[in-house]
Amino acid sequence: MARYVISDASPLIGLAIVDGLDWLPALFGTVWIPPSVQREVLPATGARGETEIALAIKNKHITFWRQKIPTPPLNSQNLDQGEVDCICLALAQPAGQAIVLIDERAGRAIANEYGIPVAGTAAVIGFAKRHGLIESARECFERLHNSDFRISKEVIQTVLSNVDEH
């Protein structure tokens, strides 16, 4: 397991929708978020998942990164600040010690360019199924589908196949 698991906003929101934030300690230990992601997920406006994410922070399932985040040169023109900060934070860790949780295609591509392992909401649901934290990954994907949260059918089918829920 990576020593540093750093999450962007989207996976936290997706997991909040499926009541999956409680899985984080069992799957990853500590999950870190940079201040930019904190501002995104806790805007104090009643945004989707805000209450669940605030509770996960209170329960220490998610921890704020309080140190300065180094800013190496990064082709970040297609990324939001949360994605940039997650990738920069991962790059600042010893090689092979960090993974980022990012859903957006551009953020995943840039993280991959730098050799940073990436997982998204769908992968976390698959991990939860494999670790016996949930009975049905399909049910989680249905809950996401019934919300405004989108994951491609191909990604869903891959995860379902990987956890023997064809």
CATH number at residue 72: 3.40.50.1010
Sign of CA dihedral 9, 96, 19, 22: negative
Please tell me whether residue 100 adopts helix, strand or coil conformation. strand
**CA pair distance 54, 60, nearest whole angstrom:** 10
pLDDT in tens, 78-126: 899 999 999 999 999 998 899 999 999 999 999 999 999 999 999 999 9
pLDDT value of residue 1: 66
Question: Would you say residue 46 has pLDDT above 90?
Answer: no
pLDDT value of residue 69: 84
pLDDT value of residue 148: 86
Average pLDDT, the chain: 93
Task: For residue 22, give its domain range.
Answer: 4-162
**CA pair distance 1, 42, nearest whole angstrom:** 27
- pLDDT band (50, 70, 90) for residue 154: very high
User: Mean pLDDT throughout 7-35?
Assistant: 97
Question: Would you say residue 71 has pLDDT above 90?
Answer: no
Reading across the β-sheet that carries 98-101, which strands appear in turn? 62-64, 31-33, 4-7, 98-101, 118-119
Domain count, the chain: 1
